[in-house]
């Protein structure tokens, strides 16, 4: 346990307060935006092999705090978080879920004070480091999600699940996230688990990327770490690129295979690039360049008008 906490702590120090899910608000997950379910899902559910599971007693491992927020909201968040925790544990069980804290600051000023930042307008939540046992008020390794109430309250039920599953997946994967794990893989995994089974058309969930692909643009490379903090308005597109790169891997290997790929990149031997190269070779029988070519075809096929 201690070793795991250390590894988790190291990763989080190097990726402090990873921004998450700016995308949801503009991706059609706000309440009142109709889901697009023409002919069922527009994409097979990559979470198929790993069934969601709702365990008894999850609530004992879940603390929801929200001083000053209406009880109806904290009750809603507790139900949402309980569902998301059950889902992510069904995909990736382990000690990460021994205790999860979800915090709801009463307003944006409170969010800024707690999260230490205020990201782009649509930022719905932020995941904060699991803390070492000796300093954490919530027990060893408790992960903390801070919700941005103003955004969260506008989300549809599906949007709330995407946000919470995304954040919890960061906790689930933290122990096998190496300091050299590329952010496209970190955020793409969280997005893939977050969106698994959500009946929303890809063109809507990845609207910014879809618009660029329709206009003839395709990425030349997987998004770099710097692109996840770019100030040029392309962050949403980077999240969407990361999501669809990881969803492509999950399409080929299943969600369990994507997780194995992730583990090898995060905790295998050698330097980060050689671990990534090794994972592409071992799991997909290709190189990074070969994967990028397949991903470009996947984006064109999935996002261009048919
Ligand atoms: Zn994230």
Domain ranges of the chain: 2-303
Confidence of residue 35 (pLDDT cuts 50, 70, 90): very low
Q: What is the reported pTM?
A: 0.81
Topology classification of domain 2-303: Neutral Protease; domain 2 (1.10.390)
**pLDDT for res 120:** 57
Residue 220 Cα to ligand 1 middle (Å): 23
Residue 295 Cα to ligand 1 middle (Å): 21
Residue 166 Cα to ligand 1 middle (Å): 6
Residue 43 Cα to ligand 1 middle (Å): 22
DSSP 3-state of 48:
coil
Residue 53 Cα to ligand 1 middle (Å): 22
pLDDT tens digits, one per residue of 171-205: 889 888 888 899 999 999 999 999 998 888 899 88
Candidate from 20-34, 92-106, 231-245 with smallest mean pLDDT: 20-34
CA pair distance 259, 165, nearest whole angstrom:
15
**C-alpha pair distances (Å), 63 with each of 9, 58, 188, 193:** 21, 10, 27, 22
pLDDT, the chain, mean: 78
Angle at which helices 207-214 and 288-303 pack, to 10 degrees?
90
**C-alpha pair distances (Å), 249 with each of 91, 192, 209, 260, 280:** 16, 10, 18, 11, 10
Confidence of residue 118 (pLDDT cuts 50, 70, 90): low
**pLDDT for res 159:** 87
68 CB-contact burial (10 Å; exposed 0-12 / middle 13-18 / buried 19+): exposed
Residue 75 Cα to ligand 1 middle (Å): 24
Residue 39 Cα to ligand 1 middle (Å): 30
pLDDT tens digits, one per residue of 137-148: 554 456 889 898
Residue 306 Cα to ligand 1 middle (Å): 31
């Amino acid at each position: 346990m201690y070793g795991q906490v250390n590894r988790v702590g190291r990763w989080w120090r190097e990726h402090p307060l990873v921004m998450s899910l700016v995308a949801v608000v503009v991706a059609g997950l706000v309440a009142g935006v109709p889901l697009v379910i023409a002919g069922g899902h527009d994409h097979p559910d990559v979470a198929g092999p790993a069934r969601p599971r709702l365990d008894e007693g999850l609530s004992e491992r879940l603390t929801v705090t929200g001083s000053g927020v209406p009880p109806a909201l904290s009750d809603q968040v507790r139900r949402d978080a309980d569902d998301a925790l059950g889902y992510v544990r069904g995909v990736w069980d382990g000690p990460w879920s021994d205790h999860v804290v979800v915090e709801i600051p009463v307003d944006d000023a409170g969010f800024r004070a707690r999260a230490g930042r205020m990201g782009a307008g649509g930022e719905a939540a932020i995941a904060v480091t699991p803390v070492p046992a000796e300093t954490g008020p919530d027990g060893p390794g408790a992960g903390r999600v801070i919700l941005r109430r103003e955004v969260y309250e506008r989300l549809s039920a599906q949007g709330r699940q995407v946000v919470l599953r995304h954040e919890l997946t960061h906790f689930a994967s933290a122990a096998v996230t190496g300091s050299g794990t590329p952010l496209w893989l970190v955020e793409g995994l969280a997005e893939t688990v977050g969106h698994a089974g959500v009946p929303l058309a890809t063109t809507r969930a990845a609207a910014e990327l879809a618009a660029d692909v329709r206009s003839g643009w395709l990425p030349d490379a997987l998004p770099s770490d710097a692109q996840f903090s770019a100030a040029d308005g392309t962050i949403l597109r980077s999240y969407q690129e990361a999501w669809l790169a990881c969803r492509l891997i999950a399409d080929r290997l299943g969600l369990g295979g994507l997780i194995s790929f992730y583990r090898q990149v995060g905790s295998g031997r050698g330097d980060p690039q050689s671990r990534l190269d090794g994972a592409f070779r071992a799991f997909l029988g290709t190189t990074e360049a070969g994967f990028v070519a397949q991903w470009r075809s996947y984006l064109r096929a999935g996002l261009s008008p048919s």
